[in-house]
Amino acid sequence: MIISELLEEAFSAVTVNKVRSGLTVLGIIIGIGSVIAMISIGQGAQGSINASIQSIGSNLLVVSPSFQRTPGSVVSSGRGAAETLTQADSDAIASQVTQIAAIAPQINGRYQIKSRTANTNTQVVGTVSSYPQVRNVDMSLGSFISDQDVASVAKVAVLGPTTTGDLFNSTSTDPVGETIRINNINFKIIGVTKAKGGNGFSNQDDIIYIPLSTSQRYLQGGSYVASINIEAQDASSMTSVQEQVTNLLMERHRISDPNQADFSVINQADIVSAASSVTNTFTILLASIAGISLVVGGIGIMNMMLTTVTERTREIGLRKAIGAKKKDISSQFLAESVMLTFVGGVIGIILGWVISLLVTHFSGIATAISWWSVFLAVGVSAGIGMIFGYYPARRAAGLNPIEALRYE
């Protein structure tokens, strides 16, 4: 039989019992729909995590003190768990390491902040004028800390938009020129940064920037720095910069064994790939759970096809009596099951798409339906029809025409 005729026959057979076919297809729809939705949510999550990692800078390397030996030190306040990185280290990197576009050491602390009307507690970062370039910070009002401010140990501050809102009760007020008190020391506001959105690591909108020298002199004391942000010239020079920085600092700190290093250099690419592998695992996990429902749907197809074969035993006998070969009978039943799963697959893709749109709409998680997942779903659903339709079709084809005709 030709394909078109096979499909015609299959169509008329599966539409005889519409409710039963519909319920069976529903199993496939749910299976395919959830696989598509889960993959799209997983991929969307991966996309937004990558985007937020990119938003903290491009071609970024961060040097922090003895990260490996005291886990958790990144989120600690003050100068880090170990005071091993100094201003001098930063200056040495700036002058000796090649292929660097910009370098910005920083020092962090949490302090009580007061304005005339309000009072909050937030992160205060002491840094230098190149920080906006290295960490992709844009200004919305006024200007960032200048080299002049750092040189003169000026008591000036740049606020994040959230902090502005907290201190002046509204994000729309222009606080430039106002005075705030950080740890009871007066600072003049010279600028406000643009909102970046939360990015998982630290909220770059709820923050205050002051000159590094000012922080060292009035807030922290000493010449230690919490971390050094380095922007490499391009993606291809990152490894080289990382090696140079590591060698330079080991030499300066008189360390010969890299495992004993009292600092660590984190490459932005490493963070991206670590995050990707986490979200990939997560996506695979979600998709496998959804895949189980697909298998259950496939078993539903098999169950229905076995029932159909039994119900249509005499039809099979008659078809064989008038000349149908085994192949004709088995392809007829296979066509029916593949038709069911294919239709289920197509509707399931639409369902999965709608689910992922709803997820985006209500939870804000960006989702992305990729072509490969659609093709895969169509292929998998047709494959499920083949696999779960194979046994019933073989059973039908193997029926003895005499027995089949006598069947009551």
Partner 1 sequence: MIEVKNITKIYKTGDFETVALKNVSFSVRDGEFVAIMGPSGSGKSTLMHLLGALDTPTSGEYLLDGKNVAKLSEDELADIRNEKIGFVFQQFNLLPRATVFRNVMLPLVYAGVERDKREERAKKALVSAALPEDWWQHHSNELSGGQIQRVAIARALVNNPTLILADEPTGNLDSKTGEIVLATFQRLHQEGRTIVLITHELYVAEHAERIMHIRDGEIKEDGKNHSRRIVHHPAAE
Binding site for partner 1 (CB under 8 A): 1, 5, 12-13, 16, 314-315, 318-328, 401-402, 405
Q: Closer CB to partner 1, residue 116 or residue 327?
A: 327
The residues, ordered by sequence, that sit 6+ positions from 124 with a Cβ below 8 Å of its Cβ are 108, 109, 110, 111, 113, 182, 207, 208, 209, 210, 215, 219
Q: Closer CB to partner 1, residue 285 or residue 321?
A: 321
Q: Closer CB to partner 1, residue 5 or residue 147?
A: 5
Taking the complex as a whole, the smallest distance from the CB of residue 356 to partner 1 amounts, in Å, to 39
The residues, ordered by sequence, that sit 6+ positions from 23 with a Cβ below 8 Å of its Cβ are 300
- The radius of gyration of the chain from alpha carbons, rounded to an integer in Å, stands at 33
Q: State the Cα–Cα distance between residues 42 and 33, nearest whole angstrom.
A: 14
Taking the complex as a whole, the smallest distance from the CB of residue 344 to partner 1 amounts, in Å, to 22
Selection from 75, 106, 382, 59 nearest residue 202 by Cα: 75
Q: State the Cα–Cα distance between residues 310 and 93, nearest whole angstrom.
A: 80
Query: Tokens 């798409």 — which residue?
Result: 353
Q: What tokens appear for 408 in the block?
A: 């009551």
Q: Closer CB to partner 1, residue 253 or residue 314?
A: 314
Selection from 125, 155, 144, 123 nearest residue 194 by Cα: 144
Taking the complex as a whole, the smallest distance from the CB of residue 330 to partner 1 amounts, in Å, to 12
Taking the complex as a whole, the smallest distance from the CB of residue 324 to partner 1 amounts, in Å, to 5
194-202 contact pairs (CB < 8 A, 24+): 194/137, 194/138, 194/139, 194/140, 194/161, 195/140, 195/161, 195/162, 196/55, 196/136, 196/137, 197/52, 197/55, 199/52, 199/53, 199/55, 199/56, 200/49, 200/52, 201/56, 202/123
The answer to whether the CB of 385 falls within 8 A of the CB of 340 is yes
Q: Closer CB to partner 1, residue 196 or residue 320?
A: 320
Taking the complex as a whole, the smallest distance from the CB of residue 362 to partner 1 amounts, in Å, to 45
The residues, ordered by sequence, that sit 6+ positions from 206 with a Cβ below 8 Å of its Cβ are 122, 123, 160, 162, 163, 166
Taking the complex as a whole, the smallest distance from the CB of residue 49 to partner 1 amounts, in Å, to 55
Q: Closer CB to partner 1, residue 255 or residue 318?
A: 318
Taking the complex as a whole, the smallest distance from the CB of residue 307 to partner 1 amounts, in Å, to 17
CB environment 131-164: b (16+ within 10 A), e (fewer): bbbbbbbeeebbebbeeebbeeebbbbbbbbbbb
Q: Closer CB to partner 1, residue 12 or residue 280?
A: 12
Q: Closer CB to partner 1, residue 228 or residue 397?
A: 397
Q: State the Cα–Cα distance between residues 401 and 111, nearest whole angstrom.
A: 89
Q: Closer CB to partner 1, residue 47 or residue 401?
A: 401
Taking the complex as a whole, the smallest distance from the CB of residue 319 to partner 1 amounts, in Å, to 7
Taking the complex as a whole, the smallest distance from the CB of residue 386 to partner 1 amounts, in Å, to 22
Taking the complex as a whole, the smallest distance from the CB of residue 339 to partner 1 amounts, in Å, to 16
Q: Angle, nearest 10°, between helix axes 371-397 and 18-55?
A: 150
Q: Closer CB to partner 1, residue 13 or residue 396?
A: 13
Taking the complex as a whole, the smallest distance from the CB of residue 325 to partner 1 amounts, in Å, to 5
Q: Closer CB to partner 1, residue 313 or residue 360?
A: 313
